[in-house]
Each structure stands twice: as C-alpha cells, then as structure tokens.
Structure 1
Amino acid sequence: MALARPVVRAGARVGSGLLRRLLPVHPGRGGDGGARFRRAAGLRQRRGDRGVGQVPVNEKKDKTPVGTIAPRQVVLRSRCATAEELADLYAWRATEHGFLFENPKDYPVGTEVRLYVQLADGQTAISGRGIVASAPEGSKLGFVIRFRSMSAQSKSLLETMRARQAPPRTESAAPADAGLERSLRRMVLVSGDSAVRPAPARRGKGRAGPIIGIDLGTTNTCCAVVKGGRPLVIPSRRGHNTVPSVVALSTVGEVLVGQAARAQMEINPERTIYGSKRLIGRPFASPVVRQVRDRFHYRIVEGPRREAAVQIGERQFSLEEVSSKILEEVRAIAQDYLGTTVERAVITVPANYNENQRQAVCRAGELAGLQVERIVNEPTAAALAYGYNRQIDQKVLIYDLGGGTFDASVLNLYGNVYEVVATGGDTFLGGLDFDSQLADWVLNQFQQSLGRLPQMERVSFLRVLQGAEFAKIALSNAGTARVHLPFIGTLDGKPVALDQTVSREVLEELCRPLVARTLQVCDEVLARARLDHAGIDQILLVGAQTRMPLVWRMIQEHFGKEPLKGVHPDESVALGAALLAESLDKLDAVVLIDVLPMSIGVGVPGSAFRRILEAGTPLPASRTFGLFTFQDNQQEMVLPVFQGEGANTDDNEFLGAVHMTGIPPGPAEKRMIEVTFSLSPECLLTVSARDREGAALCEVIMSTRETPAELRKQLGLAEAPAAALSPTSPPAPARAECPSPEPGPAPARRATPPSATPATPSPRRSREPAPEPGKKSLLRRLLPRWLWPK
C-alpha cells in the first residue's frame, strides 16, 4: 500500500507554536538545534512543484543549506498499521543526519519542508520541519531530509530505527517496485521517552456508511453531515436545528427524549434528566458531584461502578446511558434524513473534559450503536468549521460559551493544519448559570413585593428558572422583558402569581461577573500560549450564550477588537465535527494537533500530587517512569492516578487505580517495572507496564470501582505500620497514597448550597501525621527518585 500523493503548497507558512514548545534550543537562536533532533520520513514527490531560487551554501559552517528555497507544506496520508513494521522494514534508511530518500528533482537541495504525516485513521503521526541535503558518503541513497525541529513523538524515531539496523539484506535492500524508493508505504507513531507505540486503531469493526458529526451539548445536541461537499445541519423531527439534551421516564415507564421530554419537565421534574453532561464520567465520591448534586431536581446516586448515576423510581440510569439515549435519538433522526443506516460518528466534548469523561462519552456512543471514530474538542471543531478549505494563516481565539460549559482555546490555523497552542475552561460555567442569576433576582423581587416568599413546590422553582431563561433570550433583542407565571404558589392559603418586568441593564449587571470569569480564563489561556491580546488575529464566538449583547461588548472592550461574525454559534461545532468526519476517509484529511488540557499524575504520601504528563503537552504523548519492587518476589503493585492542576490530590479528579499484576519474581529493590502513561490524539489514557530486566509485559488494569478511601484502606496506609511489612510477609500491593473521599471546601468561584456542605470538618483538612521514616523509606523504594516524598 503506497502513500497518497501529498498536497504541496509553495511558500506556505506553518505556525511554529508547537515547535517552540517542544524544542529546548530554537533553530536560528543558537545551539545545535538541527543536530539534536532528527526525523524519519519518506515522501512521495509531486512533480511540477519546484523552488524559486537557491542561495549559495557556506560549506564551512554547515553542509545543510539554510534559508534557500521557499518552504513547502506537505500533508500526506499513510496506511501504517504499527510502528514495528516501519522499524523492521526501513531501519536501513535512518542515519545520524536524518532520513535517506531519493529523487531531488521535485525537492532540490536546500528545499525547506514542513511535513505532516497522517495515519490511516486520520491521526497526525509525524510533524516537523527540515531541509533537503546531500547524504553522507557511503549512503545507499544520495539525499537526506535533515530535520531542524520536530515533535517530541518524532524525536526518538531515528534512535529506535538505528538500534534495529542489521547488516544489509539482499532480499529487502532493493525495493519491491519502482515506486517504493520514492515513498514509504507505512508510517509510524512514536511516543515519547523512546517508547514505541502502535498507532491508535479505530474503534469497532470498521463499519461502512456515512459518518455524522455530533455536538453533544449540555442543553441541546446538534447533528450535521457533509453532502455534496457542503456541511449541513440535520433538522430534528419538529424542524429545529437542535435536539434538547433531556431524557425523561414517564409514569408508565416510557423513555422520552428531546422535545417530548422537555415538554413534560414542569409536571414531571423529578423524573426528567437534564444537564447530564456536567457529571458524566465523574465518580460519585468526586468533590464536584458532592458540590452540585443537590442542585438538580432528580436524584443523583452511586452507580454499580461507583460512578454518579440517576435514580428515577425503581430504575437507575448511568449518565452514560442517559447520553446514549440522546445519541440514539440523534442517530434515528440522521437515518431518517439520509435514508440509510448510520453507524459511525465523530462526537465533540469540552476541551476541559478529563480522561474518564472522554471515555464515558465513547461508551455512550457505543451504547447508542455508533462506532465513535473520533472524540474531538469543541473549540477545535469550531475552528475547523471556520477555516476549512480557506487556506488561512491566523492565530484564532475560540470563545465557546455554551449552555453548561465554557472553553477557551488558542489555535494556529495554516492550510489544513489546526494546531492547538493552549486550552482551558470551566465545566460549570454556562448559560444555565446566567439563568440562575436572573431567577434568583426574580425570586428576591417577588419576595420583597409580598413581604415573604409564598409556599412553593419544587416544580414552581423550575418554572421560575424557565421564565428567567425566556426573559434572558428576549433581552438580547429588547430593552425589557416580562416574567409572568400564574399560580406560582400560595400565600395564606390563596394562590399568587409572579409578574416581574426585567430590564437589560439589570440582567447585564447580574451577569457581568460571569462574563468576567470567562475573560479571566481567556487571559490564562493566552498566557500559556505566550501571547498578548494583539497577538490574536481573530476571535471566534461559539455557543448560544454568546448571542448576549453583554458578552459581545465585554469581549470587544477586553481585547480591543470586534469578534468575528458569520459563524453560527449553535451549529459551528457540529459542522466542524461533520467536516472532520468526512475527511477521515480521504487522503488529504485535515491535521489536528491538540494538547493535554489538564495534567495527569499519581498520588504520593501527604496527599501530594506528582505530575507525570504536564498540561499543554502536545498529543499524542507518553511518559515512562520506573518503580522498584520493595519485597522479594513481589507480584503486584497499585498506583492511584489523578488529573488536575492542584498541588494536592484532593484538589484533583481521581481517575482510578492502576493494578499491575504478573510481575516476574525477583529480589527486592532490584526488580524495576517501567510504567508508561500514553495519551492518544483524543486524550484517552492507556497505561502499560514492562519488567525492565526481562522485558516481560505485566498485566495492567485501570480500575475505577474503588473510591479513594477504599483504596487507602486496601493499601493500609493509615493503619498498617511500616514495620509490619517484613520480607517474610506475603506479597502485597505496592503502596501509594490516595485522598480522602470527603470533599474539600467548594471553589471560591462557585457558591455551595447549605445542603451540600459537610456537617463535620473533612478528615483531609485535619491532615494526617507525616509518614513514618520506615514508610517513607518504603515509598522511596517504590517510586522513582523524582517522585520521592519530601
């Protein structure tokens, strides 16, 4: 299988934000940037695309021509299955100078190449920048791509291939056909820290048929498809462009989805599930769930896998199942619209979703009968809808304020390449919070007018919230709006009605702090991207809440430029997902380079959180670290994994416990297990372990069934003294600290209702005594030096 003919654009400029973050030495700013980083790649040249001119080379300084021919952007699509195939078949092409190739006619010496290689499933495998140069004497081929900068995933490729080089083989040294010398037939994805990892395979069994793009929103879900080369939103059964993300269980046991579920919300609030996107994939013991579970009208309980679930009568629904019902409805609508079976989809998620939440969305898609081809961040999808086929070169800020979440991302757009430079967000800031602000004000005014608040049932408060939402929407185009709710409650046994007029000035005064919070997140994202306000070319608004005039005005005042018009705030994410879905089966697919939104690490004694993969790491990525066994013939280890930016584990999200079994027997302190955390381009975590000495694979299970407290009890950290762990004791799991399940105080930016506040102080706040010397010594044997407790 040969590579597709690449798309080459002479003179195209590729943004260097990713390269600046990856390279400790910048090419052109001192240091041996070209000699330290190498690339392995094979290109199939496109004839007729030549450079304009060439600058003479100073051979004394560098054999590689510098600043010569106009740069060429090359995007190729490979059909590589694994990294092992490339390493075995083409190791002889690797040299200390780069990677050998032939045919300089299309790429003369001195041509600057900016290369992006995609795998068969559309993921970016290789990215970097290099110069075509003459190969060293004695090389099999006459030319080499000498890379001056490359991604971290490509950095170790030459070392890996050179390590596998063998004496020339008479059968494989010559190509099987003439085209093989002009291109590699397969490419490889290499994870960091010299760990070679196969390219992520597509899920499912490779189903055929159309692929739809789905924006699974907190309040509404939108679906789109590409027909005739144009992305189109698929209308709902009632002609709307979105489907309410609401699921209900009627009193007779019928499951209602979408408009039908939302229509009966007022009369059946405790059996109607809304806003499930905020809690999907979170453990029931999570501080976030504890903080907000009493704000919903339905019961949030602990599921069979210790996850947050919903109890309606005698039935219990996981939040994955709730989302799958919404996806089933969207899939049925798409099938009716297209007249064919739909089994494949690209689904979007907030950029700030953690790994568990992304996995939960994947499982929801599978429950709905969909093969989830890709999980893509919502801001990235919106940028794709804006820049697709426009051949622009811009730095864009995506401001995504939806119904329940806020995301901000900075992207470099150049041609078909969409590079995320930095991202951030708040999964509990959206249009629902704007509604709550206005609803609280309306109720306060109602109470003042009557002298006291009348007796109201739960459904009455839901009616006030809906009335506030309608007034908020109306105030986007009018100066005043009326909230009129008859028979809202009773006062002294008599029914009373709520009738309140709201002005736009009042609404804006109430919501100004919320918009200011979004701008604070934007500034944090820009700081991580090392940009100021002037460094942004365009500001793209996404999400229905951005229709509010206050949002538009405050963004313009804050950044000194007007946000971009012409992109539909409700539909752009779904349209971008559809465009990405359509490109997955094409050879000239778009290139998405995303980053890790929040750090992933492990817990150590004293509730400390040690990062393994830092936030902002370009994806895909991996990190390998070593753990020593501390007992003779130890066969098990357990390692708690968290995600977040807090210094302590109780400030971060507990992802699960890594159980490593099948460790080969060996003496204590001499048997090292190499643990690798690998992230796919979709930010999905895979953990693997290998015995360094014998290279035997250990069995690894990422379990989320235990709560942090149960894991701590299982490991015996709080009760078992270190002296009890003698060499004669039976093998036990390696010990590492987990946080208490008790939630810490609510974040300052979000008020916690009295019912959600623990009645007694959290044991975590009282802090446990420092680890005993014996226990600290034990953990120093367990963890690598850079993870040692202080």
Structure 2
Amino acid sequence: MNDSYGIDFGTTNSVVARVTARDVETIALDPDRPAEWDGTGFDRVLPSVIGFDRDAPLFGWAAKTRTGARIDAVKRMFATEDTVRAGTTELRVEEAAALFFRHLQTRVAQAGFTTPLDRAVVTIPANSRGVARYRTKLSAGLAGIEVSALINEPTAAAMAHARRIGSDQRVLVFDWGGGTLDVTVLQSFEGTFIEQASKGVQRLGGIDLDRAFADAVLPAVGGASRWGAHERTIFALNLELAKIRLSTATSAVVALPGGRGHVDVTRDQLERAVLPLVERTREPVETCLRESPGRIDHLVMVGGSAKPPLVRRFVSDLVGAPADDSVDPMTAIAEGAAIAAGILHGTVTDLDFHVGTEHALGTIVHNDAPQGKFSVLIPRNTKYPARATDSYMAARPYQEEVDIQVIEGDPGKPIDDDDNVVLKVWSVPLVEPRPVERSAFDVTYEYDVDGILHVTARDHLTGTLMMDEELSFGAGENKSELPKMRRRVDGLMDPERVTRPPSPEGRLSPESEAAMTKATKKILPFVEGHERDSLERLVTALAAAAPDEEQARRDALVRELRRYAYLL
C-alpha cells in the first residue's frame, strides 16, 4: 500500500512524516544541518527559511545560515501580507510558501521514497483565520501537492499520542511553536478526537522568545552595537542554539562572531527574560479549561517553545497534570498529520478525528454602534462543517449593491481589538434596483471540513444566485492569476537556476570534496559581492577539474579559504 504523508508546515521549522500499514516515521529533510546542532532534536526538522542566491532559491539551513536575501516565518504573513521581498526578489506570499512546499517534495524524493509527495494532510494552527487556511491549501497546490485535508495542529498532536491515550479521555494540547500558540481541549471517544474548546495567540512563539533572550544578553556584550548584518546573524543562531541547550542544561556558552570570544548564559537568565511571554499563555489555557470544564487526563505539549522546563512547569501547574513525553515534541504534529492521512486513505482504521471553529464568525452591523457591533452567525467551538444563513436588504430604495463585512474573532471584545479580523468586505450586487421592502436576500456562510469559508447570496423574490465565492485573499482574489503563479514557481525551481551541486561522489579526492564542502556550507552563505563571486569560481573550477588539474585547483581554493578561518 502507498505511503500517506503528513506535513507540519511550521513558522520556524517544518517536518514531513509518512504512515504505512506498519508504522509512522518522520523523514530526514536537510543533510546540511551544522554539526553543532547535532543532538538538539533537529535531525528531522527543516528550518522554514527561504533564501536567494541571486535569483536561485535556497532552503532550510542553507538559507538560515546566510546573511541578506532571505524570508523568515512566511507562515506568519498569511493573514497580514500580500507580497514579500527577499533582496531584489519580490513574490506573492503564496508563491514563497509554494517554493518551500516544492522543496519538501524534492527532499522526500531525494530521500529515496518511491511514493511521491503529491498528496498530503497539512497542519494549520487552530487559531488560524479562514484567510490563512485558504492560503496554506493554495500554496501547497501551487507546488503540486494535493491537500487531502487541513487539520488543526493540536488535533494532529493528540493523534500522535492516540494509542497511548486510549478511549474516553480528556486531553489538553499545548502547542507552542516558532510563531503561534494553540491550546485545545479534546475528548477521545472510541478512537475519535473531538475538539471541545480551543484558544490561541497568533503572534507568540519561539521568534519572540529568542528576541527577548537577545535583549537580555546583548547589553553585556561589548561592541555588539557595531556589528554588521552577518555578525548579528551568527550571534542569533548561536544564541538560539544556547536557548535549546538550556532546556537540559543549567548553563551554556554562546560563541561571539568573528572569534571574539564567548559569553556565558544561564537557564535562570533565560527564564527571567521570557517569563512575561510565558505568562501570556495563561489566558488561553484558562479559557479552554473554563469553556470545557472537567479533569484533564492527559497533557500533551508540543513545539520547540514548549520544551523549556519553565514552560512545562507553568502549564502543568495550570492544568493539574504532568506532560506526556511519549512522542517527540518536535515531530508529533507531522506524525499526527500522517496518521490523519492514513485515516483518509484507509491505511489507519482504528482512529478518527473531528475539528471545529476556534473563532466566532459574523458580520459587522452598525445600528446604534458607531464603530459597529459583532453579530455572531457561527459561534466558536462549532464542529466543521458548519453553516449559517442570514437575511439582508438594501438600506435605501433602488440601491444597486449591498456591502457586507465578514469578521472572525471574539464578539466579547471591541470590533477594533487585535483578536477580531475582518476577513473580507463583499459587495453583493442586487438582482435589480427595488424598493427596500422587496430587496431582501439570503447570504449563506459555510465552513468546509478544512475551515475554508464559502459564501453564497440568493435573492428572496426570484431565487437568483447573486454571489458564489470561496474566501480568498491576495492572489486568490483573481483566479486567472493562479496559472501565472504556478509557472513562476516552476521557473524559480528549475534545476538550472539552483546552485551547482558538488561533483559526483568519488570522482574527486576526499581532500577536494572536503574543501568544497567547507566553502559551500560554512563560508558562501555568509559572504556577498565580489568575495562570493571569487569563491564560487574557485569551487566551480575544482568541481569540473580534470585529474591533472585537481591538485592545483584545490590548492587555490584552500589558500582562499584561509582568509575565512574565523568561519571554520
């Protein structure tokens, strides 16, 4: 039977897993991980970073360890941005994400799996708006991956623990990754996980913890204010690595860029720096416990930001249960997505899942409220698929169209609160100008099982369909743009544009291969301009060297490498 794939498309890191009739496993995606990151849990994790070498894309560690043209946390932009720029390259947000999905597809093929990654279950934060859900599905599709389903990340995490949890149990999933926090209470019943309550914070995660830690450490580092972009990149990576090590050690050493020494950091220092951010996780946890009261039988904590001891103590005390450590927090979500794919494709037969709305959906009505009032149509925690219909009419006689503002969020908060997002303003064209009393029409709002919103409008008098739209954003506003976007993604991923790989294994001596590896992995990501051009020419020349030329070309490259000893 063919493999079923699950993709955890994360803000800072991504994971791909597959499930067969026998087991579930994660796939090693990036052989270029720096050696100093060994043993940190990143062996099957790919940094969600996109870089550009001129106009050729780079991904994962090759992008994360370079200075300059790069895109971090594209997933965070789904709900807020239309385009993103890296150096001179400007892309639609969906195109940037599609490039990353295409790279995942390529890596799975290079790992030797015979079933192509052309269909998968993809995870999404439970607190993601309809906009982000639509864009995730669109981006994967542009990369040539059919999305069998979008599944909320907490549900996927619970499914990774499913066989240990058993039936008739209440589970709280605390999913804190690089960019978002999701807290969800689920009920397990005869192999099925049903969401009971969900709450989250859209922009709170490892990115913010890293920034807070850096703000605490940098004042003690002399000369840091004079660092360039390259030096700041190196220090940020080294500090992130120290943060990870402090989950198991009480102190760590952070190397300063350029061989300028090091700075010692402690777990106490980290915990003081991030405590205000950890405190912000209290509200969504308590909201879920209040909205779905009762004893929590299992606490599942996933995501890199959920690993520090401070966070695990804090959440365990709130929930009244210890964290379940039976599945790797870094890969659990992808494994659960693969299990969901197995359920859909018939590979897994003893489990099932259901998901629901994390936000209320409604319209903004003005009436007596100058800024408008949230009129709820579909309450939060409603199971998908969900449907509601409301009636509208013109405000004045013989009006030609009616504007409807559709909002997702928390009706208990002011309209302009950050938790409330206007998804779209639809201008519904009336069938014909009429008196107000004869202008009525129905609008039906319907979430599909992926949480993507579909909206239709139908005239009362004639039954005429006035509007039929899927919630879209950015490029999705004009579907005629999608073929152009697909061609752009295909063009950027053309193998001829990607940096030339090393020569076939065995053709050059081990010494030459080692020199080329040092240049491409440890130096080229950090240099630019004529220095980069010069070094690339030496690497290319050695890669193409005939046997009688190899020694001289290797010596030339090695001499150049000595200039960058501080990077080696």
User: The TM-score by the shorter chain falls in which range?
Assistant: 0.7 to 0.9
Matching residue within 481, 487, 490 for 2:252: 481
> 1:581 maps to what in 2?
341
Aligned-partner Cα distance in 2 for 1:609–1:215 = 36
Maintained 8 Å contact 1:247/1:255:
yes
Cα offset, 1:692, TM superposition: 2.0
More RCO (CA 8 Å, sep 6+): 2
Rate the CA distance shift 1:589–1:327 in 2: closer, same or farther, 3 A: farther
Matching residue within 346, 350, 353 for 2:125: 350
Matching residue within 279, 293, 311 for 2:77: 279
Maintained 8 Å contact 2:235/2:257:
no
> 1:407 maps to what in 2?
182
Q: Secondary structure at the match of 2:25?
A: strand
Maintained 8 Å contact 2:343/2:352:
no
> 1:226 maps to what in 2?
19
Cα offset, 1:456, TM superposition: 2.5
Maintained 8 Å contact 1:281/1:359:
no
> 2:467 maps to what in 1?
699
Maintained 8 Å contact 1:657/1:703:
no
Rate the CA distance shift 1:628–1:581 in 2: closer, same or farther, 3 A: same
- What pairs up with 1:300-339 in 2 under 5 angstroms? 307=82, 309-336=83-110, 337-339=112-114
Aligned-partner Cα distance in 2 for 1:249–1:211 = 31
Between 617-626 and 352-361, report the one with greater CA deviation: 617-626
Number of corresponding residues: 455
Aligned-partner Cα distance in 2 for 1:519–1:479 = 25
Maintained 8 Å contact 2:357/2:384:
yes
Cα offset, 1:634, TM superposition: 4.2
Give the letter for the 1:626 counterpart. Answer: S
> 1:169 maps to what in 2?
none
Give the letter for the 2:183 counterpart. Answer: A
Aligned-partner Cα distance in 1 for 2:203–2:235 = 21
Matching residue within 371, 393, 398 for 1:607: 371
Maintained 8 Å contact 1:390/1:415:
no
Cα offset, 1:654, TM superposition: 2.4
Residue ranges of structure 2 left out of the alignment (5+ in a row): 33-42, 476-568
Maintained 8 Å contact 1:401/1:546:
yes
TM-score calculated relative to the size of structure 1:
0.55
Aligned-partner Cα distance in 2 for 1:454–1:649 = 37
> 1:379 maps to what in 2?
154
Larger helix proportion, structure 1 or 2?
A: 2
Give the letter for the 2:16 counterpart. Answer: C
The answer as to 2:277 corresponding to 1:514 is yes
Cα offset, 1:228, TM superposition: 3.1
Aligned-partner Cα distance in 2 for 1:478–1:703 = 46
Maintained 8 Å contact 1:345/1:581:
yes
Residue ranges of structure 1 left out of the alignment (5+ in a row): 1-207, 285-306, 489-496, 707-790
Give the letter for the 2:379 counterpart. Answer: E
Cα offset, 1:635, TM superposition: 4.2
Maintained 8 Å contact 1:661/1:700:
no
Q: Secondary structure at the match of 1:338?
A: coil
Maintained 8 Å contact 2:391/2:443:
yes
Could you list the per-position Cα deviations for residues 222-257 of structure 1 after superposition, in whole angstroms to 9, with x for gaps in the alignment? 001112331111112518311111111113x21111
Give the letter for the 1:215 counterpart. Answer: D
> 1:464 maps to what in 2?
235
Cα offset, 1:589, TM superposition: 7.1
Aligned-partner Cα distance in 2 for 1:703–1:548 = 38
The answer as to 2:329 corresponding to 1:569 is yes
C-alpha RMSD of the superposition: 2.4
Give the percent of matched residue pairs that are identical in Structure 1 and Structure 2. Answer: 29
Maintained 8 Å contact 2:17/2:338:
yes
> 1:145 maps to what in 2?
none
Q: Secondary structure at the match of 2:98?
A: helix
Aligned-partner Cα distance in 1 for 2:132–2:235 = 31
Maintained 8 Å contact 1:221/1:245:
yes
Could you list the per-position Cα deviations for residues 351-396 of structure 1 after superposition, in whole angstroms to 9, with x for gaps in the alignment? 1100000000011101110111101100000111111486422000
Rate the CA distance shift 1:475–1:631 in 2: closer, same or farther, 3 A: closer
Aligned-partner Cα distance in 2 for 1:329–1:553 = 37
Q: Secondary structure at the match of 2:281?
A: helix
Matching residue within 246, 261, 273 for 2:63: 261
Rate the CA distance shift 1:341–1:517 in 2: closer, same or farther, 3 A: same
Cα offset, 1:656, TM superposition: 1.3
Aligned-partner Cα distance in 2 for 1:427–1:412 = 24
Cα offset, 1:556, TM superposition: 3.0
> 2:145 maps to what in 1?
370
Aligned-partner Cα distance in 1 for 2:189–2:474 = 44
Maintained 8 Å contact 1:281/1:358:
no
- What pairs up with 1:735-750 in 2 under 5 angstroms? none
Cα offset, 1:484, TM superposition: 2.2
Cα offset, 1:486, TM superposition: 3.6
Of the two, which has the highest radius of gyration?
1
Rate the CA distance shift 1:222–1:705 in 2: closer, same or farther, 3 A: closer
Cα offset, 1:705, TM superposition: 6.6
The answer as to 2:356 corresponding to 1:595 is yes
Rate the CA distance shift 1:428–1:630 in 2: closer, same or farther, 3 A: closer
Could you list the per-position Cα deviations for residues 18-60 of structure 1 after superposition, in whole angstroms to 9, with x for gaps in the alignment? xxxxxxxxxxxxxxxxxxxxxxxxxxxxxxxxxxxxxxxxxxx
Q: Secondary structure at the match of 2:329?
A: coil
Maintained 8 Å contact 1:630/1:669:
no
> 1:216 maps to what in 2?
9
Rate the CA distance shift 1:479–1:237 in 2: closer, same or farther, 3 A: closer
- What pairs up with 1:5-44 in 2 under 5 angstroms? none
Q: Secondary structure at the match of 1:584?
A: helix
